[in-house]
Chains A and B, each alone.
Chain A
């Protein structure tokens, strides 16, 4: 029986949805499942980890693990992998996952595949599907070792309803800090904001919003909808949006229920980060903008005119819905 170890995605003390998605997929291919959780003050998450579908929880909980540092995190994952005797180790899509997965693979002499969208198991043979060349093609990759470390692309797997697990905690020993790569501080530019990675609605701004006033205008719409607020590369390079708000090939890959591209023309590098979204709305004044080739709904118009109307119409629709429910 295959054994899949999944890295718990914990942000600000909360277990994120991707963990249940990965565990659901592991159960669907008939694997025995475990999670490894690394951080500080996370032991109280044990019931959540079990309820997400894991049968064993490897936990490394220590104040020294509060700030992300790839070396010690990798040591914890390797320790758990050896104890569990795992065939596969799956990370959800995150910057920390992308940094840690290759280290774990090297230490376990395993194959590594990033951005996978599917995994197939026939007997002992593992194969994965993943996009390449900025999403222009897909690859089927044959794994020639008995161990695979993978980073799963955002939105690739779905959580199944009614999945269950059991509490069985194994405490990991706490690794030494990496003295050769000392994390000095984390300059948070997203505190208190909705995390792009798991927002149900993501609204991104592009060159079309022009300046800070344009950014602020769209931000109000994002606030109304409690949406993640993202950006194309142009607005990050222009200094209007923080680097970790960039959606695209070199930034965040998102797959929300609704993605709104406001004033974004749709370079392939941006498309590679958001075409996994369920529904895409684009607002752009150029009717030929490539973003319309991937948008389910496109509004050709001046965003400075359209966005305030969009806010009003959504408010109206939501109020109407409340009234209907009360009747």
Chain B
């Protein structure tokens, strides 16, 4: 089985974001692998270990992604492709999906695993749109995966009415939730070996496509500006005798907030 895993370099969401004049100030920001993609990497590596697979990652944009890709190598991914092109600066999910379509078609993969969303945009679209472009079956929000045979996998998806069990014919696309696994910490031996591995860096031309073909020049949507988030303020905090303060809060919920 050949598995393609997507990884995106994103801003560390634990940091404070400062917004000025419609943009996020770069100062002090740090970039990390998207949390959901780390689960996608772990899923791929586990499938490789348990069922035998060839694992390749692809990352789009983000400038120098060497550290992130090496980390994935150290976790067990075998090959890495980095597509970087100035024409992708304003890429929206459909542009990302078009680029991934090109990567998929060049590599003859059986399974694509993406994180269910990227923590910089929280859009959750790219993997699903990719499946549509490729005409492949797709299940999103996957929390468990098992190989049935050479042509089929069975996945569990967290859905509205409970856990949906779906059998997929390969090739297929799945997008995974963080609860699917606990990503491993790279070990020293893996880290050392990762340093020697090459990363296949290409622009759109090298991928055999163009900004026009992937829609990079005219994305369907674009971020016009960033704004500060309306942050909620803490209200009244009560400390002291539990019976007394709890009674007081129930009174406030009923008569001040009127929600009981």
For the A-B complex, the count of residue pairs with Cβ-Cβ distances under 8 Å equals 275
Enumerate chain A interface residues (CB-CB to B < 8 A).
Answer: 11, 67-68, 70-71, 94-96, 98-99, 101-103, 105-107, 110-115, 127, 129, 131-145, 178-191, 197, 201, 225, 233, 236-237, 243-244, 246, 249-251, 257-258, 268, 275, 278-281, 287, 292-302, 305-306, 309-310, 313-314, 317-318, 321
Asked whether B129 lies within 8 Å of A298 as measured between CB atoms, the reply is no
Asked whether A301 lies within 8 Å of B245 as measured between CB atoms, the reply is yes
10 contacts between A and B (CB under 8 A): A133-B122, A180-B172, A181-B167, A187-B162, A243-B143, A244-B162, A246-B179, A281-B249, A298-B236, A301-B242
Complex CA–CA separation, A217 to B166 (angstroms): 35
Nearest 5 Cβ contacts at the A-B interface? A106-B132, A180-B137, A111-B220, A188-B162, A296-B235
Q: Which of A103, A132, A306 is B122 in contact with, Cβ under 8 Å?
A: A132
| Given known A112-B93, A314-B250, contact A181–B137 (CB-CB < 8 A) | yes
Asked whether A243 lies within 8 Å of B179 as measured between CB atoms, the reply is yes
Asked whether B93 lies within 8 Å of A102 as measured between CB atoms, the reply is yes
Instruction: Chain A residues near B149: list those with CB within 8 A.
Output: none
Q: Which of B16, B137, B226 is A71 in contact with, Cβ under 8 Å?
A: B137
Chain B 125-180 residues near chain A, CB threshold 8 A:
125, 128-129, 131-133, 136-141, 143, 154, 157-169, 172, 177-179
Instruction: Give A141 Cβ to nearest chain B Cβ, in Å.
Output: 5
Instruction: Chain A residues near B128: list those with CB within 8 A.
Output: 99, 102-103, 106
Instruction: Give A12 Cβ to nearest chain B Cβ, in Å.
Output: 8
| Given known A144-B221, A144-B222, A299-B249, contact A279–B259 (CB-CB < 8 A) | yes
Asked whether A298 lies within 8 Å of B159 as measured between CB atoms, the reply is no
Complex CA–CA separation, A306 to B242 (angstroms): 6
Instruction: Give A321 Cβ to nearest chain B Cβ, in Å.
Output: 8
Instruction: Chain B residues near A278: list those with CB within 8 A.
Output: 257, 259
- Say yes or no: is B123 at the interface (Cβ < 8 Å to chain A): yes
Asked whether A306 lies within 8 Å of B224 as measured between CB atoms, the reply is no
Instruction: Chain B residues near A138: list those with CB within 8 A.
Output: 226-230
Instruction: Chain B residues near A11: list those with CB within 8 A.
Output: 160-161
Instruction: Give A317 Cβ to nearest chain B Cβ, in Å.
Output: 5
| Given known A102-B132, A187-B163, A236-B179, contact A140–B236 (CB-CB < 8 A) | no
Instruction: Chain A residues near B179: list those with CB within 8 A.
Output: 233, 236-237, 243, 246, 250
Instruction: Chain A residues near B260: list those with CB within 8 A.
Output: 225, 258, 314, 317-318
Residue of B nearest to A250 (CB): B178
Residue of A nearest to B239 (CB): A300
- Say yes or no: is B223 at the interface (Cβ < 8 Å to chain A): yes
Instruction: Chain B residues near A185: list those with CB within 8 A.
Output: 164-165
Asked whether B259 lies within 8 Å of A181 as measured between CB atoms, the reply is no
Instruction: Give A254 Cβ to nearest chain B Cβ, in Å.
Output: 13
Instruction: Give A35 Cβ to nearest chain B Cβ, in Å.
Output: 18
Complex CA–CA separation, A243 to B166 (angstroms): 17
Asked whether A298 lies within 8 Å of B234 as measured between CB atoms, the reply is yes
- Say yes or no: is B185 at the interface (Cβ < 8 Å to chain A): no
Instruction: Chain A residues near B230: list those with CB within 8 A.
Output: 138
- Say yes or no: is B27 at the interface (Cβ < 8 Å to chain A): no
| Given known A132-B122, A294-B232, contact A183–B93 (CB-CB < 8 A) | no
Instruction: Chain B residues near A182: list those with CB within 8 A.
Output: 166-168
Known contacts A106-B129, A115-B122, A191-B162; 16 additional CB pairs below 8 A are: A106-B128, A111-B220, A113-B123, A133-B120, A134-B13, A137-B227, A145-B220, A186-B159, A243-B143, A244-B158, A244-B162, A250-B36, A275-B232, A292-B237, A297-B236, A313-B246
Asked whether A114 lies within 8 Å of B163 as measured between CB atoms, the reply is no
Residue of B nearest to A294 (CB): B232
Asked whether A299 lies within 8 Å of B245 as measured between CB atoms, the reply is yes
Instruction: Chain A residues near B259: list those with CB within 8 A.
Output: 201, 257-258, 278-279
Q: Which of A102, A145, A249, A310 is B125 in contact with, Cβ under 8 Å?
A: A102
Residue of A nearest to B133 (CB): A106
Instruction: Give B152 Cβ to nearest chain A Cβ, in Å.
Output: 9
Complex CA–CA separation, A246 to B246 (angstroms): 26
Asked whether A114 lies within 8 Å of B122 as measured between CB atoms, the reply is yes
Instruction: Chain B residues near A107: list those with CB within 8 A.
Output: 132
| Given known A112-B93, A132-B120, contact A184–B166 (CB-CB < 8 A) | yes
Complex CA–CA separation, A310 to B131 (angstroms): 50
- Say yes or no: is B207 at the interface (Cβ < 8 Å to chain A): no
Asked whether B165 lies within 8 Å of A281 as measured between CB atoms, the reply is no
- Say yes or no: is B183 at the interface (Cβ < 8 Å to chain A): no
Instruction: Give A306 Cβ to nearest chain B Cβ, in Å.
Output: 5
Which one of A101, A102, A127, A189 has the highest number of Cβ atoms from chain B below 10 Å of its Cβ?
Answer: A102
Asked whether A111 lies within 8 Å of B227 as measured between CB atoms, the reply is no
Asked whether A142 lies within 8 Å of B246 as measured between CB atoms, the reply is no
